[in-house]
Structures are given as structure tokens and as C-alpha cells.
Amino acid sequence: MHANGGDDAVDGATGNDTIFGGTGNDSIAGGLDADLIFGEDGDDHLWGGDDHDVLRAGVGNDFLDGGSGNDFLEGWGGFDTIYGGDGNDIIEGGTNADSLFGGTGEDTLSGGAGLDRLWGDAGADRLSGGDDSDYLSGGEGNDTLFGDIGNDFLEGDAGDDRLLGGAGFDILRGGQGNDVLMGNFNADCFVFVDGDGNDTVEDFEATNPFETIDLSGVSEITDFADLLGNHMVQQGDNVVITAGVGQQITLLSVALADLDAGDFVF
């Protein structure tokens, strides 16, 4: 089905449909069954509906909602807003600054180029920021977040998450649960607050003057003297910080003697 020119409203209803929006600001609903929908030119609204759908936005600032089913949604050009809905979805933002929401299920979100914002929501999700400086939030579930290129802000939220900053000066916060954090390249900031759980930082560089551990949200630790005297010890090759009841921070392959007040934010 080709909508062609104009601002069209199309409902695929039942059946496996292939719909092309053409030019104009279109509203296209796939309806029941597995649909293939192309927004093409214009600022379009695309709804997949039930079943496993493919939605490709095209040029313009588009809104996509996969609905139920395991959907593939692609923003391509423009400043797009994309909701995966229910199911295990694959969402790609494309170029420009996009907002991606996984919804329920085990989703894979890729921001692509631009200043993107990614929310995994419920489920064990995989988020990748792509180029530029992005914001990634895992939501509930055991998530994997990869900032990739740019100065990114990664939040694992609830669950046992794995955060990898990638290239750039990144901020990593695991959130609730037992998380693993790795900054990768350049100087990164690892943020901890009350109630975070038992977290591990895999690559903290004590000799990097710009890399920091932010403990300003940990109420039991007041300053470096308090940290060194009451909360931080060497255990084998690692440094372990006790931040509260049931809350520890382990810095892998770090010597206590290499740490000073400049490595921390209080």
C-alpha cells in the first residue's frame, strides 16, 4: 500500500501489511499481524500494533511505537522518539538526537549518531549510545550499557548491571544491585550513593589525576580521613570500600598507597 503525497491516515487492520507513507506527515497503524511500515518523508507517527513488526521512520522527526511483539524499529534521519512496547525489540535511532524507550522485554537499543537518550525500562536490556555524548538508563533488570564514543552518562538503575563507558569522559552510576563498572578510555567518574549494593570498578586508574570516585551521595563517609581510617582497606590486589551495610565498592588491581584525596569527591 502506497499513501503517496499528503498527510495520510492509514490503518492496516488485519493481515501482514506493507505500507509506504510517502511525502507528508502521516499516521500509519499496522493493526493485527506482522507488518512492514515505511514512514518515508515528513514527520510521521507509526504504530506496529500486534505481532512482530518492522517500522522504518525515514526522513523527518518521527514517532514510532512497536506495540506488542518482537519488533524492529529504526529512526534513520530526524529527531525521533521510539517506543519498543511489549516484547524483545531492536531499536536503532539513526542520525541526530533521538529518544529510545525499550518497554518491557529484553530489548537492544542503539542510539547511533547524535545526542541520544536511551531508556531500557523493564527487562534485561542492551544499550549502546553510539557517537556523541549520550544518556543511557538501564531501568529494571540485569542490563548491559555501553556508552561508546562521546562523553556519556550511564545509569544502571535496578538490577545487576554491567556498564562500559567507552571512549570519552564518562559518568557511570550502577544504581541498586551488584554492578560492574568499566570506564575504558580517558578519565571517568564513578558515582555511588546510599543503597547501591556491592559494586566492582574494573579499571580505576589511581595515577590518572582526572579520574574520580564520587562518594558525595554516601552519607556514612564524610571526607578522605574518614574514608582512609574507617572504610577503606587493601584486600589482596584490590581496594575495598565499605560504604554502608550491605554496600561495598571494590577497585580491582588498585594499590591503597596510590590513592589520595584527589581521587575522590565527597
Q: What is the pLDDT of residue 134?
A: 98
φ, ψ of residue 134 in degrees (nearest 5): -120, 160
pTM of the model: 0.94
User: Contact at 8 Å (CB) between 207 and 188?
Assistant: no
* Dist CA 35 CA 16 (whole Å): 5
What's the CA gap between 96 and 166, in Å, rounded?
Answer: 20
Walking along the chain (266 residues) 10 residues at a time, the average pLDDT comes out as 70 83 86 89 93 94 97 95 98 97 98 98 98 98 98 98 98 98 95 98 97 98 99 99 96 98 98
Cα 215 to Cα 2, 66, 99, 200, 258, distances in angstroms: 57, 40, 30, 14, 18
Q: Which three cell numbers stand for residue 208?
A: 590518572
